[in-house]
Structure 1
Amino acid sequence: MHKETSTGTGLNQQPQVSTAEKGLESGTYKYINRDLSWMEFNRRVMEEAEDNTTPLLERVKFLSIVSSNLDEFMSVRVAGIIDQIKAGYTKKDFTGYTPFQLYKRVMRRSVKMVSDQYKIYRDLLRQLAKEHIHITQYTDLSINQKKSVDQYFEDIVFPVLTPMAVDQSRPFPLVHSLGLYMAVLLKKDRPRKTDEQEEPFFAIIQVPSILPRYYEIPGRANSKKKEYILLEEIIRHRIHTMFEGYTPISIGGFRMTRNADLTLNEEGAEDLLEEIEKELRKRRWGVPVRLEIEKGMDPLALEMLQEEFEIEEDIFEIDGPLDLTFLMKLSLGMTGKDHLRYEKLVGEYPREFHDCEDMFEVIRNQDVLLYHPYESFDALIDFAEQAAEDPQVLAIKMTLYRVSGNSPLIKALEQAAEAGKQVTVVVELKARFDEENNIQWARQLEKAGCHVVYGLVGLKTHAKIMLVVRREEDQLRRYVHVGTGNYNEKTAKLYTDLGLFTTNSEIGEDASALFNEITGYSSLHEWKALSVAPTDMKPLLIDYIRKEAQHAREGKPAHIIVKMNSLSHQPMIDELYRASQAGVKIDLIIRGICCLCPGVKGLSEHINVISIVDRFLEHTRMFYFENNGDSTVFISSADWMTRNLVRRVELMSPVLDPSLKKSVIGILNLCLSDNVKARRLLMSGKYERVVEANKKPLRSQFEAEKIKKWKL
Structure 2
Amino acid sequence: MENKYDNFINRELSWLEFNERVLEEASDITNPLLERLNFLSIVSSNLDEFFMVRVASLIEQVQANFEKVDFAGLSASEQVKRITIRVHQMVQKQYSVYMELNSQLKNVNIFILKPKNLNENQVEFVRTYFHKNVYPVLTPMVVDSSRPFPLIMNKSLNIALFIDGMEDEEAIFATVQVPSVLDRLIELPMDKGDEKAYILLEDIIKMNISDVFRGHNIKNMACYRITRNADLSIDEEGAEDLLEAIEQSVKNRKWGEAIRIEIEYDMDNALIGILKEELETSLGEFYSIKGPIDITFLSKLNSLIHIESLKYPNYNPVPIPEFISAPNVFSAIAKQDILVHHPYQSFSCVVDLVKIAARDPKVLAIKQTLYRVSGNSPIVKALMEAAENGKQVTVLVELKARFDEENNIIWAKRLEKAGCHVIYGLLGLKTHGKILLIVRNEYDGIKRYVHMGTGNYNDVTANFYTDMGLFTANPYIGEDASALFNMLSGYSTIDEMNKLYIAPTGLRKKFISLIKREETNATKGKKGHIIVKINSLVDKEIIEALYKASKAGVKIQCIVRGICCLRPGVTSVSENITVTSIVGRFLEHSRVFYFYNDGEEAIYLSSADWMNRNLDRRVEIMFPIEEEQNRNKIKHYLDVCLSDNVKARTLKSDGTYVRAICKENDEKLNSQEYFAKKAIKQVKKAKKHEKEQKFTPITSY
Equivalents in 2 of 1:49, 1:477: separation in Å? 50
Instruction: Answer with 591-600 or 280-289: which moved more.
Output: 280-289
8 A Cα contact 1:513 1:525, kept in partner: no
Deviation per residue, 1:627-649 (Å, 9 max, x gap): 11111110100000001011000
Number of the residue aligned with 2:631:
661
Q: What is the letter of the counterpart of residue 245 of structure 1?
A: G
**2:287 aligned to which of 284, 294, 316:** 316
Deviation per residue, 1:247-306 (Å, 9 max, x gap): 111111010111001111001111101111111122122111111111111222221111
Deviation per residue, 1:42-77 (Å, 9 max, x gap): 000000001111100000000000000001101111
Q: Kindly indicate whether residue 274 of structure 2 is the aligned counterpart of residue 297 of structure 1.
A: no
Number of the residue aligned with 1:146:
123
Equivalents in 2 of 1:609, 1:93: separation in Å? 22
User: How far did residue 355 of structure 1 move?
Assistant: 4.3
Number of the residue aligned with 2:42:
65
Number of the residue aligned with 1:54:
31
8 A Cα contact 1:393 1:469, kept in partner: yes
Equivalents in 2 of 1:277, 1:165: separation in Å? 31
Equivalents in 2 of 1:302, 1:41: separation in Å? 31
8 A Cα contact 1:30 1:95, kept in partner: yes
Distance 1:175 1:627, change over 3 A: same
Number of the residue aligned with 1:387:
357
8 A Cα contact 1:663 1:710, kept in partner: no
The correspondence of residues 576-655 of structure 1 with structure 2, limited to 5 A, is 576-655=546-625
Q: Kindly indicate whether residue 181 of structure 2 is the aligned counterpart of residue 204 of structure 1.
A: no
Q: Kindly indicate whether residue 95 of structure 2 is the aligned counterpart of residue 118 of structure 1.
A: yes
Name stretches of at least 5 consecutive residues in structure 1 with no aligned partner.
1-23
8 A Cα contact 1:257 1:288, kept in partner: yes
8 A Cα contact 1:350 1:375, kept in partner: yes
The correspondence of residues 21-32 of structure 1 with structure 2, limited to 5 A, is 27=4, 30-32=7-9
8 A Cα contact 2:321 2:682, kept in partner: no
Number of the residue aligned with 2:63:
86
8 A Cα contact 2:592 2:606, kept in partner: yes
SS in 1 for 2:164: strand
Equivalents in 1 of 2:589, 2:250: separation in Å? 28
Q: Kindly indicate whether residue 578 of structure 2 is the aligned counterpart of residue 571 of structure 1.
A: no
8 A Cα contact 2:532 2:591, kept in partner: yes
Deviation per residue, 1:327-352 (Å, 9 max, x gap): 111223222x1110010110111011
Number of the residue aligned with 1:161:
138
SS in 2 for 1:598: coil
8 A Cα contact 1:167 1:202, kept in partner: yes
Equivalents in 2 of 1:707, 1:93: separation in Å? 44
Number of the residue aligned with 1:470:
440
SS in 2 for 1:27: coil
What RMSD in Å do the two structures reach over aligned CA positions?
1.5
8 A Cα contact 1:667 1:710, kept in partner: no
User: How far did residue 388 of structure 1 move?
Assistant: 0.2
**1:689 aligned to which of 631, 652, 659:** 659
Equivalents in 1 of 2:384, 2:571: separation in Å? 57
Deviation per residue, 1:391-424 (Å, 9 max, x gap): 1100000000110011110110000000010000
SS in 2 for 1:498: strand
User: How far did residue 218 of structure 1 move?
Assistant: 2.1
TM-score w.r.t. length of structure 2: 0.95
Q: Kindly indicate whether residue 645 of structure 2 is the aligned counterpart of residue 675 of structure 1.
A: yes
User: How far did residue 708 of structure 1 move?
Assistant: 4.6
User: How far did residue 138 of structure 1 move?
Assistant: 1.5
8 A Cα contact 1:259 1:286, kept in partner: yes
Number of the residue aligned with 1:130:
107
SS in 1 for 2:631: helix
Q: What is the letter of the counterpart of residue 160 of structure 2?
A: A
Number of the residue aligned with 1:238:
208
Report sequence identity in percent: 52
8 A Cα contact 1:611 1:678, kept in partner: yes
Q: Kindly indicate whether residue 199 of structure 2 is the aligned counterpart of residue 229 of structure 1.
A: yes
8 A Cα contact 1:217 1:228, kept in partner: yes
Deviation per residue, 1:348-394 (Å, 9 max, x gap): 11011114441101101111111001101111111110000001100
User: How far did residue 653 of structure 1 move?
Assistant: 0.6
8 A Cα contact 2:188 2:196, kept in partner: yes
TM-score w.r.t. length of structure 1: 0.94
Number of the residue aligned with 1:528:
498
Equivalents in 2 of 1:545, 1:467: separation in Å? 30
**2:670 aligned to which of 690, 699, 703:** 699
SS in 2 for 1:284: helix
Equivalents in 2 of 1:411, 1:103: separation in Å? 44
Equivalents in 1 of 2:26, 2:245: separation in Å? 40
Distance 1:660 1:709, change over 3 A: farther
User: How far did residue 551 of structure 1 move?
Assistant: 1.3
8 A Cα contact 1:181 1:254, kept in partner: yes
Number of the residue aligned with 2:151:
174
Deviation per residue, 1:474-525 (Å, 9 max, x gap): 4111100000000011111101000100011111111111111111231333
Equivalents in 2 of 1:546, 1:707: separation in Å? 36
Q: Kindly indicate whether residue 308 of structure 2 is the aligned counterpart of residue 331 of structure 1.
A: no
Equivalents in 2 of 1:475, 1:445: separation in Å? 29
Instruction: Answer with 325-334 or 240-249: which moved more.
Output: 325-334
Instruction: Answer with 701-710 or 671-680: which moved more.
Output: 701-710
Number of the residue aligned with 1:16:
none
Q: Kindly indicate whether residue 11 of structure 2 is the aligned counterpart of residue 34 of structure 1.
A: yes
Number of the residue aligned with 1:97:
74
**1:517 aligned to which of 487, 507, 523:** 487
Instruction: Answer with 429-438 or 688-697: which moved more.
Output: 688-697
User: How far did residue 26 of structure 1 move?
Assistant: 8.0
Q: Kindly indicate whether residue 191 of structure 2 is the aligned counterpart of residue 213 of structure 1.
A: no
Instruction: Answer with 662-671 or 698-707: which moved more.
Output: 698-707
Instruction: Answer with 402-411 or 355-364: which moved more.
Output: 355-364
User: How far did residue 29 of structure 1 move?
Assistant: 5.2
Deviation per residue, 1:13-33 (Å, 9 max, x gap): xxxxxxxxxxx9983651000
User: How far did residue 556 of structure 1 move?
Assistant: 1.7
Distance 1:25 1:687, change over 3 A: closer
8 A Cα contact 2:372 2:457, kept in partner: yes
Deviation per residue, 1:101-148 (Å, 9 max, x gap): 111111100100010010000001011110111100112111111111
Equivalents in 2 of 1:109, 1:498: separation in Å? 34
Q: What is the letter of the counterpart of residue 669 of structure 2?
A: L
Q: What is the letter of the counterpart of residue 338 of structure 2?
A: V
Q: What is the letter of the counterpart of residue 481 of structure 1?
A: H
Q: Kindly indicate whether residue 472 of structure 2 is the aligned counterpart of residue 502 of structure 1.
A: yes
Equivalents in 1 of 2:214, 2:193: separation in Å? 39
**1:261 aligned to which of 231, 234, 241:** 231
8 A Cα contact 1:255 1:293, kept in partner: yes
SS in 2 for 1:246: coil
8 A Cα contact 1:398 1:425, kept in partner: yes
Number of the residue aligned with 1:452:
422
User: How far did residue 473 of structure 1 move?
Assistant: 1.6
Q: Kindly indicate whether residue 157 of structure 2 is the aligned counterpart of residue 187 of structure 1.
A: no
Number of the residue aligned with 1:21:
none
User: How far did residue 233 of structure 1 move?
Assistant: 0.4
8 A Cα contact 1:465 1:482, kept in partner: yes
8 A Cα contact 2:6 2:72, kept in partner: no
User: How far did residue 621 of structure 1 move?
Assistant: 0.3
Q: What is the letter of the counterpart of residue 312 of structure 2?
A: Y
**Higher RCO by CA contacts (8 Å cutoff, separation 6 or greater):** 1
Equivalents in 1 of 2:679, 2:87: separation in Å? 37
Number of the residue aligned with 2:389:
419
Equivalents in 2 of 1:184, 1:476: separation in Å? 70
8 A Cα contact 1:612 1:679, kept in partner: yes
